[in-house]
Amino acid sequence: MATVFETSNRSSMAAIVLLLGLLVANLGTTGGESIGICYGMMGNNLASTSEVISLYTSNNIKRMRIYDPNQAVLQALKDSNIELMLGVPNSDLQSLAANPSNANSWVQRNVLSFWPSVRFRYIAVGNEVSPVNGATASLAQFVLPAVRNVFNAIKSAGLQDQIKVSTAIDMTLIGTSYPPSQGAFRGDVRAYLDPIIGHLAYAKAPLLANVYTYFSYAGNPRDISLPYALFTSPSVVVWDGQRGYQNLFDALMDALYSALERTGNPLEVVVSESGWPSAGGVATTVDNARAYYSNLIRHVKKGTPKIPDRAIETYLFAMFDENQKPQELEKHFGVFFPNKQPKYSLNFNGERIIWEGVDVDQYNATVSLKSEM
């Protein structure tokens, strides 16, 4: 016969399990689809492409970004149901801009040959090209014509509604970011960027943006607090009129939304990269990186103070640590180690929750009520 305490204890545990079940169900329907992960391949110790696709699938990671049309990856993605952001490398921009037939051939070879068994979602034509960045300035003239030619090739195939063609910018193109409502692009990039934004508005495509609070913090730790960059500030840090900002990510996003509004084309934004390194630089610890990724995954389901009801499709950078990256810092952005072991316990799409290292799906009665998320 059960004692009063045992009955009460079982009732409490049943309530906890029910609560966690409701939490899992709720998360599974509120923005899990908004998370993807960038699959970089600059490492000599990475798993095979087929193993990587299986790793995405087993962890319920439903979107991927790759930076070039790697044929082995495209083959491995067939029938995986993973949605793909496919990159056009910067080295291909001049060729695709020069001649529509080059773009048609590129699309035929790398997209149409695999469609629909590979679920292409975006084509990112160029990455972080800037007319004021010496490394890529000479390529800026090719971005818009390459985007147009690739778009027209996709449109000729009747796929312009399923596959959106865009380009990925970085946040150095923002000239004014504070306060967020005054966000504006740099004056010396407007002639480059405005026509691209105009085309994306015409094509009903989002702007892709690589957004890193890490670099903002590392570049200005005197004025930007670490908790503000990591989503861990306990209260509002910045007030902008009636809008309160508790984290830097929202402030950067709203500055970008404001900058787009000032061009006359308030595009949707897809965050094509965001991450925090676990080693190699200032404030690069495993704990900081874990906090950033776990909080980012949860946060982008909610939107920003300026646009609170719009989940932000976001691609974590990156799937693996990549030991052939040129700078030490860049080698440590992986959420998995090259041996496929997770660096952190992360809930990628709301179907699993790790609480104090215990998988809630196992309904372990000893699970702690302190969430790592």
DSSP state of 201: H
Known catalytic residue: 128?
Answer: yes
Q: Is 334 left (phi over 0), alpha (psi -120 to 50) or beta?
A: beta
Which entry of 83, 273, 313, 330 is annotated as an active-site residue?
273
Task: Give how far the C-alpha of residue 294 lies from the chain's centroid of Cα atoms, to the nearest Å.
Answer: 13
Partners of 314 in beta bridges: 35, 271
Going from the C-alpha of 243 to that of each of 175, 257, 259, 312, the distances in angstroms are 21, 14, 17, 18
Catalytic: which of 128, 313, 322, 330? 128
- CA distance readout (Å), 194 to 1, 130, 262, 307, 310: 75, 13, 10, 22, 24
Q: Could you tell me the two tokens for 264?
A: 């006359």
Residues 6+ apart with CB under 8 A from 1: none
Catalytic residue ranges: 128, 273
